[in-house]
Amino acid sequence: MNASPVAAPAADLAPTGPTIGVLALQGDVREHVAALAHCGAQPVLVRRESELAEVDALILPGGESTAISKLLEVFELLEPLRARLRDGMPAFGSCAGMILLASEVLDTRPDAQHLSGIDMTVRRNAFGRQVDSFEVDLEFTGLDDGPMRAVFIRAPWVERVGDGVEVLATVPDGPFAGRIVAVRQGNVLATSFHPEVTGDLRVHRMFVDLVRDA
């Protein structure tokens, strides 16, 4: 089955941008689709290898990382996705997507899979459970117009970054001050938080520009 564009609200830019897939196995897919459309990209849902092959880039949404990793195997997407990342496909992972993009994951199930898209160690559910969800204003490298509001829901953090990984944001204060919550390595971007739920499109615009440049 071939990928097809997803209906979405009118974009800020003409819809002539890159074709960006949203992994549609589990999680907050609709919010990423809407954000991409508003940023001038052409969003498509990705559930099959044939659909993955047609996109310029991919978003891995928030959700439940172990469930998504299992579904990647069920839908025979795990190895094709790893191959496309090795070949330089741009990708963006939020929350669970960050966990999936890591090269090492702490506090996860032994049978959980990850994609090694970024050389980093991520701790799953590092900020606590659902009841520990919180919001904070972050300074985010590369974004203009001041801090962005970040929403953390059962979020991971990054404990280690390898050479070539740029830290884009850390928690500014409080008990988690200094924890890494946004990173980039080459064409791959990841955030601990959910920029798709706040209406602030700056991270998605950054990613769409990154895809255009790639």
Sign of the alpha-carbon dihedral angle for 23, 24, 29, 33:
positive
Catalytic residue (one of 31, 32, 39, 196): 196
HSE-up (13 A, CA, CB side) for residue 196 = 27
Q: Is 196 a catalytic residue?
A: yes
What span, in angstroms and rounded, lies between the C-alpha atoms of 110 and 63? Answer: 19
Q: Is 95 a catalytic residue?
A: yes
Tell which phi-psi region holds residue 47, choosing left (phi > 0), alpha (psi between -120 and 50) or beta: alpha
Q: Is 39 a catalytic residue?
A: no
Catalytic residue (one of 51, 95, 114, 204): 95
β-bridge pairing 157-161 and 118-123? antiparallel
Catalytic residue (one of 38, 114, 194, 204): 194
The set of catalytic residues is: 95, 194, 196
